[in-house]
Each structure stands twice: as structure tokens, then as C-alpha cells.
Amino acid sequence: MRATRKTRVFVVDHMPLARKAVVAGLAGSDLVEIAGVAPSPVMAFRKIEGTQPDVILLDLEDPEGEETQVLAQLVRDLRIPIVLLTSMDARARDALRITLEIDPEMVMDKPVVSVASGIFELVPLLEARLKKAHRNDLLAGKVKAKAEVRIPRAPKPPGPRIIAIGASTGGTEVIASLLADLPVEMPGIVIVQHMPRGFTRTFANRLDQLSALIVKEAEDGDVVRPGTALVAPGGRQLRVMRSGEGFVVRVQETASVSGHCPSVDVLLSSVAQSAGPKGIGVVLTGMGKDGAAGLLAMRQAGARTFAQDEASSIVYGMPAEAHRNGGAEKVVSARDLPRQLALAAYR
């Protein structure tokens, strides 16, 4: 007897523990298989075209946010059914169900206590719902020629964008987690992490292994390209310069600025001058106030600007100062930062 093809499931869930539990719980399933995993619709946006899932297993942190519209457009274009496994309240889940045209039968309660063990207990029911969503979709005769449909892309303003990130104490882990979650289509990234000479190359190599992006220690004259990240060398200042339609970096043996070399202020101020409204600036955890003035300069030049929140910062010094002086347009958690950067980059 011919075996039935497994239903391919793409998991979109803002909770890391829930994502891991679903993947682990369905790993040995005879009915379904995991096609991909992402923490948000924007992160899933570029992956779904290649993975061609049959069903999306979904939970959102903010059902009324911009990402719901991204997902609604994706579902309309590709006709992918959704199973909603969520801890949202009744009002939020009903609104999301209507927006995304989710069958009421395909809404399940996510455990709010002992999430991992609770999801493991739900696996048999989850398998059945995912399989049924796929079967109902096929019976409805919906077109699923995904390879022939272009993934909708959010409109981008003309010209290149560039993302500049600055951090100090606690920043290495935040940057590692951030880059690991960003899609490879992101604009070019430049990074200052306060580190002494000799340590930044090892740090860049580690980031390169963790991320889909190409990450390297910056060298003078490097071009800032989409899908790449350049880390300022310890003991040298990193600046961004305009070069035709794009950007290059200057790496120079110059004096410390406010006691720092590399300095976040030096980097962000150069991005404000060279990129203006095409810049996206981020100040992460760290002691002192390096980066606050540079982020303010970026915002005044029309850039999108973000500072890490206190709850997720190891040391709430640099981002607090960037928030106090008005440089930060938004204060966001480390967990939410990949989503916020992707939204800013894809606009």
C-alpha cells in the first residue's frame, strides 16, 4: 500500500520554548513534518517560498500589529491554511481568525503553564488538526502552485539601506542572537561592540558561524553589502562613507572618542551623515552613554532608531541614555529586535 505523503508544517511562534516543543513533539510523527520555523511572519516571509509548506501553525505576540497584514497577504497569495495554537484572549483570537480566514475548528488553546510539557501532551490532537487542515484545503480545490507564485515583497524606498548597531557590556550575546534570527536578505550591517584589540576577529568569526549572514571583521574599504555584517576591529574607529549608490567603510587608527575605540558614536554619526533616512540605528546594552549622541544624529537625519529595553539589558546605561536624549524612536526588547529591524528594512 502506498504511503500517504506527510503534511508539511511551517511553525510561526513568538515563544522560543513553544517552537522547540512543537518541533521536538512532531519530530517522530508519521503524519506531519516540519518544513520550517520562524519567530514571526516577517522572519518567515522569505523562507516560505523555498519550503513550500502545506499548513502554517501560528501564534502571534501582537495580533493587531503590522505583521498580521504581512501574514494576511501571504495567505491570500499562496492559499496556505492556518492552525492557530495560541494563548490569546477570546477577543484577540476571534479578530485574528477573521482577518486570516482561519476555520474555527482550527483554533487550539496553547498551554499557559508548563508550555513544553503541555504541548507534548497535545501532539496527537495537533497532528490530527494539521492533517485535517491540509486535507480540507485539498478537498476545497484551492490552487497550491507555490513555485509559480512570487512571494509578495513589502515596498522598499529607492536606494540602499544600512543598519548600524552599537553595544558594550552584555552586547555579544544579544548581537549573536539578533544576527542568528535575521534573514539573509537584510541590508548591510555595521557593528561596534566594545572589545579590545585582538578579540573582535574571533567574535566576528563566531557570528559568521551562527548566522545566515556573511560576517567578518571590517577592513578599510570594505563594501557594505546586503546579507553581510562588518564588525569594527578593536582599537580602531569604524566609519561609513557614501560610495556611488552604496556605502563603504573606513577603518582608521585614530584616537579614542569618549574613552572608546571603536566608538558607537563615531559609527552612528557617520551613518547619519552618509545614509540619512536610509539608515537604521540600534543601541544595545552597555555601560555609559556611548551611542546616544550618534543615535540622536541618525534620528534627526530621518533614520529609524531603536534602543534596547531595560528588562532585556545586562547594563541599562547606553540604551537608557539614547532613550532619554530622544535618539531612540522605539525602545524594544532583545527578543523583539529582529522583527522590528525586518519591518524597518522591508518598508
What CA–CA distances, in Å, run from 150 to 30, 73, 75, 153, 279? 31, 12, 12, 9, 28
* Shared domain check, 244 and 110: no
CA distance 60 to 96: 9
CATH number of the domain that 50 lies in? Answer: 3.40.50.2300
* Shared domain check, 166 and 63: no
Q: Are 109 and 122 in contact (CB under 8 A)?
A: no
* Shared domain check, 242 and 330: yes
Q: Are 56 and 198 in contact (CB under 8 A)?
A: no
CA nearest 74: which of 49, 91, 50?
49
Q: Residue 200 phi/psi, 5° resolution?
A: -70, -30
CA distance 268 to 307: 13
The predicted structure's pLDDT at residue 61: 80
* Shared domain check, 171 and 313: yes
User: If you average pLDDT over every residue of the chain, what do you get?
Assistant: 86
* Shared domain check, 188 and 92: no
Examine the residue annotation and report whether 269 is marked as an active-site residue of this protein. no
CA distance 42 to 38: 9
Q: Are 303 and 277 in contact (CB under 8 A)?
A: yes
* Shared domain check, 341 and 307: yes
Residues whose CB falls within 8 Å of the CB of residue 236, separated by 6 or more in sequence, listed in order: 251, 252, 253, 254, 261, 262
Residue 153: inside a domain:
no
Residues whose CB falls within 8 Å of the CB of residue 150, separated by 6 or more in sequence, listed in order: none
- CA Rg, the chain, in Å? 22
What is the number of domains present in the chain? 2
* Shared domain check, 211 and 341: yes
CA distance 240 to 227: 17
* Shared domain check, 46 and 103: yes
The predicted structure's pLDDT at residue 284: 97
CA 293, 285, 310, 307 dihedral sign is positive
Q: Which domain holds residue 296?
A: 162-346
The predicted structure's pLDDT at residue 107: 92
Examine the residue annotation and report whether 168 is marked as an active-site residue of this protein. yes
- For residues 17, 23, 26 and 31, what is the CA-based torsion angle, rounded to 10 degrees? 140
End position of a domain, from candidates 113, 148, 183: 148
pLDDT in tens, 78-135: 678 899 999 888 878 887 887 788 888 899 999 877 888 888 888 999 999 999 988 8
End position of a domain, from candidates 98, 115, 148: 148
53 SS3 class: coil
The predicted structure's pLDDT at residue 149: 32
Q: Is the pLDDT of residue 150 over 50?
A: no
Tell me how crowded residue 28 is: count the other CB atoms within 10 A of its CB: 7
Residue 1: inside a domain:
no
CA distance 80 to 66: 19
The predicted structure's pLDDT at residue 140: 61
Point out the catalytic residue in the list 265, 290, 309, 336: 290
* Shared domain check, 225 and 101: no
- Mean pLDDT lowest for which of 85-94, 140-149, 198-207? 140-149
CA distance 183 to 214: 11
* Shared domain check, 334 and 191: yes
Residue 154: inside a domain:
no
Residue 156: inside a domain:
no
Residue 322: inside a domain:
yes
CA distance 171 to 158: 32
Q: Which residue has the higher pLDDT, 155 or 71?
A: 71
Residue 2: inside a domain:
no
Examine the residue annotation and report whether 13 is marked as an active-site residue of this protein. no
Point out the catalytic residue in the list 29, 54, 59, 194: 194
* Shared domain check, 173 and 144: no
- Reported pTM: 0.60
CATH number of the domain that 197 lies in? Answer: 3.40.50.180
Residue 184: inside a domain:
yes
CA nearest 317: which of 335, 290, 296?
290
Which grid cell sits at 237? Answer: 574607529
End position of a domain, from candidates 148, 180, 205: 148
Point out the catalytic residue in the list 29, 54, 137, 168: 168
Q: Residue 286 phi/psi, 5° resolution?
A: 165, 160
CA distance 92 to 346: 26
- What sections of the chain are H helices per DSSP? 16-26, 41-45, 48-51, 66-78, 90-99, 115-139, 171-181, 200-210, 264-275, 292-300, 318-324, 337-346
Q: Is the pLDDT of residue 2 over 50?
A: no
Residue 55: inside a domain:
yes
What CA–CA distances, in Å, run from 101 to 73, 90, 144? 11, 16, 17
* Shared domain check, 296 and 226: yes
